[in-house]
Structure 1
Amino acid sequence: MGDRDDRNAIGRRVQRLRAERGMTQRQLAEPAYTPAYISTLEAGRVRPSDEALRHLADRLGVGYEELATGRPARLATDLRLRLTEAQRTLATEGAEQAADQYAGLLAEAEAYELAEERAAALLGLGECAVETGELAAGRQYFERAEQCLVEAGAPLTARVPALRGRALAHYLAGELRYAVYLLETTLDELNRGGLHDPDALLLLYASAIGPYMDMGAHARAAQAAELALSLAPSAGDPALVARMHRSVARTLLAEGRLADADASLAKAAELYRTLQLRTELANCHWMRGYVCAQNGELPRAEAEMREALGMLSATRAALYSSQVAVELADVLHRRGKSEEAAELLHGVLDDLSSERGAVHSAGAHRLLGIIAEDARDTEAAEEHYVRALSLLERAGAVGDLADLCRLLGDLLRRTGRVEAALDAYRTGLGHRTAPGTTTLGPAPAQPPL
């Protein structure tokens, strides 16, 4: 039962407001009611009608909603405006500053039982936690946001950002299959239920591309990208469209369409510049660097990735900074700067683990193994390859497992361990499936485009 229906709470509120204004019960009651009625109401022995509440609110000089619920006038609107400001802080200044704002907003929303605003604050705290690499905390915030919306009776479309946040936290923690499960079941429920909200669908399809690619499900990744591109013109959120362009670039790269990928990222960069979304712009530099690296433009790739790393470090986005550092190290190694690459990798490995950035942690060990092989330190190289293999197997990132098994097998064969090398090759062959033939099960229903 809320305060609107709680006669005791309303009675106490009327008494407090009357005393603050120095009014007698007779002054408050006139001309429509009696002092005895006001006395009974303040004692909580009667529930006031809407008409009585409007009369009392007018006499006390407060809004009807404030008197009925205890919420200051325009509180919800003010909270929403400040939530928008916190979103801007997250985008332009960094997660730590934004988290302080969101925490204060959450306390206010909880105090006044504003479910929608409470969920938005929890969602913001989740985004901040993910950006700083606190994945377990982020997942809890997203779960609380979703539960808050469920209890408030919000439709599935309103719960999509929280569900996507949960999937992102699991994905970054190396739990690829569960991340895909969350995204696909939500997509299936939306499309089968006729809930064809463009923003919600675009967010889900764009978020699924990364896990699909890492799992080797290239056909599904390409299909998700195609659907995302089809939905983009109908989406109302330009930041979402920009994020989509960045994600779609990954599938274009897989198809060898480097120019198209670069063009998609250029569109994203322009939108991010317009919106001053610092972290997303940094991610865009990161992906542009990846495009350049795939195209053999190593000096430009290094410049783009250094730009991304600088921007992410400035906003203290620890996990993303560690991930881009791994890819920058690969470019440095390919440019003959192996010592600098190894130093960079050792500097970020403490920030990565099987529960926090598993795929990039494996990438760091893989590259350290290659550098060790180049230096003829086969013992260290084998150790790094085995650690990388374990991380990828736990994450289910089959897209990289076959290549790693080949590296390990070649190393074992060169050191005379033929049987062990054959075992590594067999393991790798088991992961070389045709694109899209993972054990993900049926694809989710599609929207009518």
Structure 2
Amino acid sequence: MQRLRTARGLTQRQLAEPAYTPAYVSTLEAGRVRPSDEALRYIADRLGVGFDELVTGRPARLATDLRLRLTEARRALATGGAERAAGSYRALLAEAEEHGLTELAAEALLGLGECALESGELETGREHFERAEARLADAGAPLTARVPALRGRAVAHYLAGELRYAVYLLESTLDELNRGGLHDPDALLLLYASVIGPYMDMGAHARAAQAAELALALAPRAGDPALVARMHRSVARTLLAEGRLAEADASLARAAELYRTLQLRTELANCHWMRGYVSAQNGLLERAEAEFRQALAMLSESRAALYSCQAAVELADVLHRRGKSEEAAGLLRGVLDELSSERGAVHAAAAHRLLGIIAEDARDTEAAEEHYVRALSLLERAGAAGDLADLCRLLGDLLRRTGRVEAALDAYRTGLGHRTAPGTTTLGPAPAQPPL
């Protein structure tokens, strides 16, 4: 009040009269008396500011302006400008914290987390999501409002190869929402779409299929088209696993259409990547190569390092199948320079597996064995049972051909140990379901 009065060149008498006395204004400015709402409205009118601005000390349009800038930062991230978006989010976070706008500060932290995931800085991303979740929890926000932060943490763990912990976070949140009657369609859809990938990599295909069915049932109730598009992209994985290739392609086409409308470039690139995978499954290798190259070009432009590496592994597989093994091997070596056991472990394993196959084709059994063993170590550490059985078969076959029968038997037994019944995991009962 004092700051606004002096900025306008008013004395305490000029501000107070005719309704109040200069002494009353003095006691208010000194903080010795709590003013009534009536007095505050009078003084706000005299100062030419809104009642809320006088009460909170925040500029009248601050929250609105910050929300507008949040939208611009999201657009920058969506179109591939993660670095620029991160700068905007950092500035927004500082302003929101300065004025005590907890919800907006949490949204800025979520944005910083997404930027970090995009650029492959998984630990930094996880820290941003944890801070966002803590802010919202301290402010008493309901679980539904904390879901994006929880999902961000789970994705960071998933991309780091910590599949079981990612599933634990997603399943426990789903369980709490559904048992508590918090059937928010957007929150549930976000979680079901996010858990499909980890389920598939763990070999829990039945749970993945169930999550996909629930996501499809929730989609008509969701209000966020980007969320619906992400769901279609995730569901395509389960449709592929069930051999429903035409339906998978239709889901991806719908996702791509939504992403084009929303101008979400990285997500659209991921659709090209998945459509390449569908084409490869159908034996349409030329089309698959074109789709993967398109995805890789778009992801490289947006500097989405981890996603670029994942698309490169798929492209290398198609190149190898088309007889372009030298180019495939070059791509894979580049991928391994970017990935590690703490960062993209499942895809690093896929790169080693494919390099092993290429080495076998070139009759370099020593190099092939080395790549298979490295891949096996990465997958075991990540708990990716979905790929372990096949890798153990490849390693066992190689060992058997080189005359090491006992070692081959050990490899086959390891593979059989990971060949669980369809859809089972060691994670306990499935989470409660929404009443659909």
TM range (shorter): over 0.9
In structure 2, the residue matched to 1:379 is 366
Asked whether the equivalents of residues 253 and 261 of structure 1 are also in contact (C-alpha less than 8 Å), the reply is yes
Aligned twin of 2:378: 391
Could you say which residue in structure 2 is the equivalent of 1:8? Answer: none
Is 1:264 paired with 2:251? yes
Which moves more between the two structures, 74-83 or 355-364?
A: 74-83
Structure 2 residue 296 is matched with structure 1 residue 296:
no
The Cα of 1:66 is off from its aligned counterpart by 1.3
The equivalent of 1:227 in structure 2 is: 214
* 1:109 corresponds to: 96
Q: TM-score, normalised by structure 2?
A: 0.99
Is structure 2 residue 76 aligned with structure 1 residue 85? no
Letter in 2 for 1:228: A
Q: How far off is 1:123 after superposition?
A: 0.4
Alignment correspondent of 2:415 = 428
1:89 positional shift:
1.1
Amino acid of the structure 1 residue aligned with 2:54: L
Amino acid at match of 2:18: P
CA RMSD of aligned residues (A): 0.9
Q: How far is the alpha carbon of 1:252 from its aligned partner?
A: 0.4
TM-score, scaled relative to structure 1: 0.96
Which one of 301, 304, 308 corresponds to residue 295 of structure 2?
308
Runs of 4+ off more than 6 Å: none
Q: What residue in structure 1 maps to residue 425 of structure 2?
A: 438
Instruction: Quote the residue 2:132 is aligned against.
Output: 145
Q: Is the 1:94–1:317 Cα contact (8 Å) retained in structure 2?
A: no
Task: Give how far 1:47 is off.
Answer: 2.2
| CA deviation map 1:174-204 (0-9, x unaligned) | 0000100111111111111111111111110
The 5 A counterparts of 1:29-428 are: 29-428=16-415
| Deviation larger for 283-292 or 343-352 | 343-352
2:80 touches 2:303 (CA, 8 Å); kept in 1?
A: no
Q: Write the deviation string for residues 210-261 of structure 1: whole angstroms up to 9, x where unpaired.
A: 0000000000000000000001111101111111111000000000011110
d(CA) in 2 for partners of 1:63, 1:186: 41
Residues 292-313 of structure 1 deviation map (CA, whole Å, 9 limit, x = unaligned): 1111110000000000000011
Residue 148 of structure 1 aligns with an amino acid whose one-letter code is R
Conserved? CA contact 2:272–2:294, under 8 Å: yes
Once the two structures are superposed, residues 260-314 of structure 1 have per-residue CA deviations (whole angstroms, 9 ceiling, x without a partner) of 1001101111111111110110000000000011111100000000000000111
Q: Structure 1 regions of 5+ residues with no counterpart?
A: 1-13
Partners of 2:29 and 2:141 in 1: CA distance = 35
How far does residue 94 in structure 1 lie from its aligned partner after superposition? 2.2
1:93 positional shift: 3.4
Whichever residue aligns with residue 215 of structure 1, its letter is: M
The whole-number CA distance in structure 2 between the counterparts of 1:175 and 1:132 is: 18
Q: How far apart are residue 60 of structure 1 and its match?
A: 0.9
The one-letter amino acid of 1:418's match is: V
Do the aligned partners of 1:246 and 1:268 also contact (CA within 8 Å) in 2?
yes
Q: Which amino acid aligns with 2:5?
A: R
Report how many aligned residue pairs link the two structures.
Answer: 436
Residue 397 of structure 1 aligns with an amino acid whose one-letter code is: A
Give the whole-Å Cα distance in 1 for the aligned partners of 2:429 and 2:421: 16
Amino acid at match of 1:169: A
* Deviation, structure 1 residue 386: 0.7
Alpha carbons 2:339, 2:348 under 8 Å: kept? yes
Partners of 1:189 and 1:376 lie apart in 2 by 54
Once structures 1 and 2 are overlaid, which stretch shifts more, 55-64 or 288-297?
55-64
State whether residues 398 and 431 of structure 1, in contact with CA within 8 Å, keep that contact through their aligned partners in structure 2: yes
Q: Distance in 2 between matches of 1:17 and 1:439?
A: 63
How far did residue 46 of structure 1 move? Answer: 2.0
Equivalent in the alignment of 1:10: none
AA aligned to 2:183 is H
Give the Cα separation in 2 of the matches to 1:27 and 1:243.
Answer: 59
Distance in 2, matches of 1:433 and 1:427, equals: 12
